[in-house]
Amino acid sequence: MRATDTTDRAAAPAQGRLRDRPAGRLPGGAESRPAGHPPVRFVAKNMRLDLRLIAGMIPHGARVLDIGCGDGALLDHLTREKGADARGIEIDMEEATRAVAQGLAVIHGDADQDLAFYPDDAFDYVVLSRTLQAVEHPREVLAQMLRIGRHAIVSFPNFGHWQMRWRLLVTGRMPDTETWNRPWYETPNIHPCTIQDFFDLCAKDGYEVEQWLAVDERGLRSPWRRFVSLANLFGEQALFLLRRADGIPPRAAPATPG
């Protein structure tokens, strides 16, 4: 969630609200609003495509924590349409303020710092969308997500996409694409990974992949469901639904504040 620092934001004011997002804008998203725009109620059709895919994975009435919830589009949708008990964490103060002012339960906080304070199994689903690559300790964050939630939903931009490989091969420099659009020295995306890498980490840490899908540049679900290596080449974004593998207890809860 260490999406950007203030210097970055100050230097790039023209990018609209999306500048606060670490990376990976999906085509077809309609979330960009000029700064200062009055808060609006969200409706599902206006929701970012990946958020709609995520919402589709969450059953009615679930307890949900959305990490990096922005101004709360997913929370609002889940609360209104699915009767969910939906809460959020957002690192950007303006976004968090906007969400709270809409009556959503959002705390101004940080995935790296704040997850440790929730009790085990506090949620049915913990969502981390397009933020994993920007946190300081992704493995720890993932472990926390699957401690405080029974399921985790994670989406991230796939660094194994053919454009990345091609540009690195041809130019010999860090790829510069629509998704990965910041120079290496100021990108907030400090922990990029590929779909293959993510599968490996899940296996290593004992997370069961209940569902996964790759999305192409046009925001459509890609057809390479059966071949991870193809998805890893052509999927621009990845979306995973995880749970703790059977018989593995959550990691010990850290000390709660006194």
Partner 1 sequence: MSQDIAAYTAPFAEVAHQRTVFPEGLALDCGATVAPLAVAWRAYGTLNAARSNAILVCHALTGDQYVAETHPLTGKPGWWGNVVGPGLPIDTERYFVVCSNVLGGCMGTTGPREPRAEGEEPWGTDFPQVTIRDMVRAQHRLMEHLGIGRWLAVVGGSMGGMQVLEWAATYPEAVGAAAPIATAVHHSAQNIAFDEVGRAAIHNDPDWRGGRYWEDGSLPARGLSVARMVAHITYLSEQALTRKFGRRLRGASALTFLEDVFEVESYLRHQGSTFVRRFDANAYLTITRAMDFFDLAAEHGGELAAAFRGASAAGTRFCVVSFSSDWLFPTEESRTLVRALNAAAANVSFVEIRSDKGHDAFLLDEPDFHRTLGGFLAGCAERLGV
Compare residues 108 and 182 and give the one whose CB is closer to partner 1. 108
Rounded to 5 degrees, φ, ψ at 80 are -80, -45
Kindly identify the residues of this chain, within the stretch 120-159, that bind partner 1 according to CB under 8 A: 122
For residue 128, list its beta bridge partners.
67, 154
Give which of 1, 52, 48, 43 is closest to 22, Cα–Cα.
Answer: 1
CB of 111 to partner 1, least distance (A): 13
* Two tokens, residue 167: 């540009």
Q: CB count, 10 Å around CB of 72?
A: 28
- Kindly report the backbone phi and psi dihedral angles of residue 247, in degrees, each rounded to the nearest multiple of 5, phi listed first: 85, -5
**8 Å CB contact between 124 and 64:** yes
- Taken in order 60, 66, 72, 74, the sign of the CA dihedral is negative
Minimum distance from CB of 37 to partner 1 (Å)? 13
Nearer to partner 1, 109 or 208 (CB): 109
Q: Least distance from C-beta 180 to partner 1, angstroms?
A: 30
Residue of 13, 56, 59, 258 interacting with partner 1 (CB under 8 A): 258
Out of 51, 53, 118, 143, name the contact with partner 1 by CB under 8 A: 118
Residue with Cβ nearer partner 1 (23 or 84)? 84
Which region among 12-20, 105-113, 139-147, 196-204 touches partner 1 (by CB under 8 A)?
105-113
Q: Of the listed pieces 90-98, 151-159, 162-170, 205-213, which binds partner 1 according to CB under 8 A?
A: 90-98
* Nearest residue to 22 via CA among 215, 190, 241: 190
The binder of partner 1 chosen from 109, 197, 221, 230 (CB under 8 A): 109
Q: Does 96 bind partner 1 (CB under 8 A)?
A: yes
**CA–centroid distance for 35 within its chain:** 22
According to the binding rule CB under 8 A, does residue 101 interact with partner 1? Answer: yes
Which among 21-29, 43-51, 91-99, 138-146 is the span making contact with partner 1, rule CB under 8 A?
91-99
**In sequence order, which residues have a C-beta less than 8 Å from that of residue 155 and are 6 or more positions away?**
24, 50, 54, 128, 129, 130, 132, 237, 238, 239, 240
Q: Residue 66 in contact with residue 155, Cβ under 8 Å?
A: no
* Residue pointed to by tokens 């991870």: 228
CB of 76 to partner 1, least distance (A): 10
Per-residue interface string for the shown chain with partner 1, residues 35-74, x marking contact by CB under 8 A: ----x-----------------------------------
C-beta closer to partner 1: residue 27 or 103: 103
Q: Which residues bind partner 1 (CB under 8 A)?
A: 39, 85, 87, 93, 96-97, 99-109, 114, 117-119, 122, 256-258
